[in-house]
Chain A
Amino acid sequence: DAKTTQPPSMDCAEGRAANLPCNHSTISGNEYVYWYRQIHSQGPQYIIHGLKNNETNEMASLIITEDRKSSTLILPHATLRDTAVYYCIVLLDNAGKSTFGDGTTLTVKP
């Protein structure tokens, strides 16, 4: 599975969009980009995933560059409850080896 690079921390004002970047320059053609988040020390929670096209669901949007070497998770209107660690991982599929890096600690401020 490809390695990912994320900034260790980011701040965002409440109500504004939070844009979390992820680099995955060694991604292969059939690997998916997944995003999870972890609030405090709870179990990670799935947010969204994509292969090539941009994706949107009720939680967030995922923008994947055309060359697929990077992606951005967008929380359109961040709230204080979005303060969490966000993990970007690249996987061929979920049924095998997987390791989460350190992620990005997003702090939403009032």
Chain B
Amino acid sequence: EAQVTQNPRYLITVTGKKLTVTCSQNMNHEYMSWYRQDPGLGLRQIYYSMNVEVTDKGDVPEGYKVSRKEKRNFPLILESPSPNQTSLYFCASTPLLALGQSYNSPLHFGNGTRLTVT
């Protein structure tokens, strides 16, 4: 089944303890992206990646790192989590069409990771 898989689904941690949220897709998509969702603020983009070894900042990258060493995986790393990073996180992916065409294939989202930092 084609899907985007995030792990863990729920995570409670303490301030300053490094953590990684994994995201994996089995659709051979070039593009992957991370979002956070907070009440009243919609989904805000953290980082995105157009392909292996290519990453760019979204609207709210501070406090996060990402890597894209393999096409299928796009982990989100919080080196020193703080309570203001308590949020619901989503990973998404989409294929990129050939050059000359706009990339208007829809985004496929994972089921989310609810992170609580105390």
Contacts and interface: CB of A to CB of B under 8 A. Distances in A.
Contact of B104 (A41, A45, A87, A93): A93
B48 A34 contact: no
Contacts of A43: 4, 90, 92, 109-112
Contacts of B96: 95
Nearest to A93: B103
A79 B17 CA distance: 44
Contacts of A94: 31, 94, 103-107
B90 A96 contact: no
Interface string A18-39: 0000000000001010101000
B50 to A, nearest CB: 6
Number of contact residues on A: which range applies?
20 to 34
B102 A103 contact: no
A44 B41 CA distance: 15
B8 to A, nearest CB: 15
A103 B39 CA distance: 11
B65 interface: no
Interface of B: 4, 30-31, 33, 35, 37, 40-45, 48, 50, 56, 58-59, 88, 90, 92, 94, 96, 102-112, 114
